[in-house]
Amino acid sequence: MPPKRSNKAQELIQRLPIKINRQAMLSLEACVHCGLCTDQCHYVLANPGDPTYAPAYKADKLRKLFKAHLDWTGRVFPSWVGAKSVYTDEELEEIKDVVFGKCTNCRRCSLNCPMGVDMASFNRIARGLLVHVGVMPEGVAVVAKDQWEIGNQMGVLPEDYRDTLEWMEGELREEYNDPSIRIPVDKMDTDVVYTINPREVKYDPRTIAEAAAIFHFAGENWTMASKGWDMTNFGLFNGDDELGAAVAERVYDSALCLRGKKLVISECGHGFRSTRCEGPNWAKRDVPFEMESSVVTMLRYIKEGRIKVDKNKNSEPVTYHDSCNNARSCGMTEEPRELLNLVCSDFREMYPNRAENFCCTGGGGAMSMSEYAPRRLKSGKIKADQLRATGAKIVVTSCHNCVDGLFDLIRFYKLDMQVKLLVNLVSSALVVPVRPLRRRLLEGFRILVLDDEPDVRVYLGKIFQEQGAEVMEAPDTSQALRIIRAQKPDLLTLDLVLPKRTGEKLYWDLKKEERFASIPIIVVSGYAHIDSPKIDFHGFIAEKNLPEPEGFIEKPVDVEKLIQTVYSVLAVAKVKD
């Protein structure tokens, strides 16, 4: 007598036939459990001896259900063919742990299966079934909710979006001393409607400005939309086709409303795949305009002579990380390389690459599932080894998720590298007709540098002053508190190892006091990233339930990274104000 089935389990089983189409069922039946997919998965390689990471094992979570409910051999001889139904909420949680926490849907196993079994699709289907009954990591629920309700996955409000575009437009005009530069919004009948990732608005607005500069100098007739501008789609990650359809339709409808001729999709692997490839299928509608990745657009501009670039402006060794969605699901492997060879002078391949590349471990919505972060970082060792072997100083990718995933790995595995998008490199290689002096990035901002070492204070202070900031210095926390109370700086750089009172305590004092809680803090320390016997900063903020600081910079300081981090943090804070 089988146990009584929970409501969620019952609902999930009822949903199962709706989610399985002919491709999926043939794929489910075709697997022979040959095990050749096993060592194609970065999770397996980084967790030797644990078979629960094996792609076929993960795929079996869905196959067992399929066999139990949709294949009569499983109904007649369940244990013989490995059929197994679900009865309890605990069993659903176990499936959740596997399909959300042990797979990034990178599709490397699918492309390496001799039978052509698309295991990544199974994982997505299993996620969709769980999401349908409300079983998912909390972060996934939050992001999906934002995308349903606010219209973008980071909950960016319309006014913040507008403000950011206006601010970037102002920056560009100043930077290039060119008042004709615009970031048009809702302009009708343009050749290009440009869609972006909300991460760009929230954390990396410079990429919007850089793309805008490229459009401007290419003489493009372009616009951005005030609605339906988010081309990311959490439906791809959580397996919810309804969400996928709704989000894609917003983008299509917006472009149609503006009568745009082409939709250009900024650098985002899953966004490109969702909007260009999956969206029309989810929405069950044909899309009458062309869609193109901004990588292809930038390459085209250079080839057509619409923009000029100087590859010597990017002379540091660069490698390229293929986003899984771009490479394995959309075939975009050559355009980024062609572009890189045009805009940087020392491009080095990473091996293996293209469709055989390993996942950054940030895909499949993994960045929103903080409970699986330790697993993700451990499994990122394969990627970290790949990165290290290139000897490059910059890893370029064309995906915002990969940027975050790689950034975490670089920090965790202490790699001496920066992550950039292609738009960053194209922008910095731009040869513009008249290139005026760059405006100093930190002009108008007041920064407090707290460090017990006088040399470091002077050094950091000089860097900020050269960028136009007003700098205050404090050798210890009590002086820092005095300055903060008297002058309330725009940003604090915080050393964690200080005499008398550690940086942790100051952090706690500031975050608990409402007046000062909003002051952005960047930790600049030799112990910034990795918890050490001396300082367990991450443990401290987790224990006290404090927000993460706005940035971390490891000593010795990389000047460019420091300036960019401080600038980005201040820019975001300005928008919030």
Q: Which of residues 332-361 bind another protein (CB under 8 A)?
A: 332-334, 337, 349, 351-356
Token couple for 459: 């050094």
Selected from 287, 342, 377, 472, the binder of another protein by CB under 8 A is 287
Closest C-alpha to 203, from 428, 412, 460, 401: 401
Selected from 9, 12, 13, 27, the binder of another protein by CB under 8 A is 27
Q: Do residues 162 and 185 touch, judged by C-beta distance below 8 A?
A: yes
Identify which range of 39-47, 203-211, 418-426, 436-444 contacts another protein by CB under 8 A.
Answer: 39-47
For the beta carbon of residue 351, count every other beta carbon within 10 angstroms.
Answer: 11
For the beta carbon of residue 185, count every other beta carbon within 10 angstroms.
Answer: 16
Q: Is 504 exposed, middle or buried (0-12, 13-18, 19+ CB in 10 A)?
A: buried
Instruction: Tell me the residue type at 181.
Output: I
Identify which range of 187-195, 282-290, 305-313, 426-434 contacts another protein by CB under 8 A.
Answer: 282-290
Token couple for 212: 């805008």
Identify which range of 34-42, 464-472, 483-491, 546-554 contacts another protein by CB under 8 A.
Answer: 34-42
Dihedral (CA of 313, 339, 420, 437) sign: positive
Identify which range of 232-240, 274-282, 440-448, 559-567 contacts another protein by CB under 8 A.
Answer: 274-282
Token couple for 60: 């079996």
Strands 418-421 and 262-265: unpaired
DSSP for residue 372: G
Q: Which CB sits closer to another protein, 103 or 510?
A: 103
Q: Which CB sits closer to another protein, 13 or 201?
A: 13
Q: Which CB sits closer to another protein, 331 or 468?
A: 331
Site for another protein in 2-21 (CB under 8 A): 20-21
Q: Do residues 159 and 566 touch, judged by C-beta distance below 8 A?
A: no
Question: Distance between alpha carbon 256 and the CA centroid of its chain, in Å?
Answer: 27
Smallest gap from Cβ 351 to another protein, in A, equals 6
Q: Tell me how far apart the alpha carbons of residues 435 and 298 are, in angstroms, rounded to a whole number.
A: 20
For the beta carbon of residue 431, count every other beta carbon within 10 angstroms.
Answer: 11
Site for another protein in 390-409 (CB under 8 A): none
Please state the length of the chain: 577
Q: Which CB sits closer to another protein, 54 or 172?
A: 54
Dihedral (CA of 170, 172, 173, 175) sign: positive
Site for another protein in 69-98 (CB under 8 A): 72-73, 77, 79-82
Identify which range of 31-39, 188-196, 394-402, 485-493 contacts another protein by CB under 8 A.
Answer: 31-39
Size of the site for another protein (CB under 8 A): 72
Identify which range of 98-106, 112-120, 160-168, 427-435 contacts another protein by CB under 8 A.
Answer: 112-120
Selected from 14, 93, 114, 436, the binder of another protein by CB under 8 A is 114
Token couple for 394: 């910059």
**Residue 277 binds another protein, judged by CB under 8 A:** yes
Q: Site mask, another protein, residues 132-171, x = CB under 8 A?
A: ----------------------------------------
Selected from 1, 2, 3, 286, the binder of another protein by CB under 8 A is 286
Name the 3-class secondary structure at 457.
helix
Selected from 11, 69, 115, 475, the binder of another protein by CB under 8 A is 115
Q: Site mask, another protein, residues 50-69, x = CB under 8 A?
A: -xx-x-xx--x---------
C-alpha distances in Å from residue 566, one per residue of 86, 405, 442: 50, 20, 8
Smallest gap from Cβ 263 to another protein, in A, equals 11
Smallest gap from Cβ 278 to another protein, in A, equals 8
Smallest gap from Cβ 81 to another protein, in A, equals 5
For the beta carbon of residue 57, count every other beta carbon within 10 angstroms.
Answer: 20
Identify which range of 33-41, 228-236, 237-245, 397-405 contacts another protein by CB under 8 A.
Answer: 33-41
Provide the CB-side half-sphere exposure for 126 (13 A, CA). 32
Site for another protein in 302-331 (CB under 8 A): 327-331
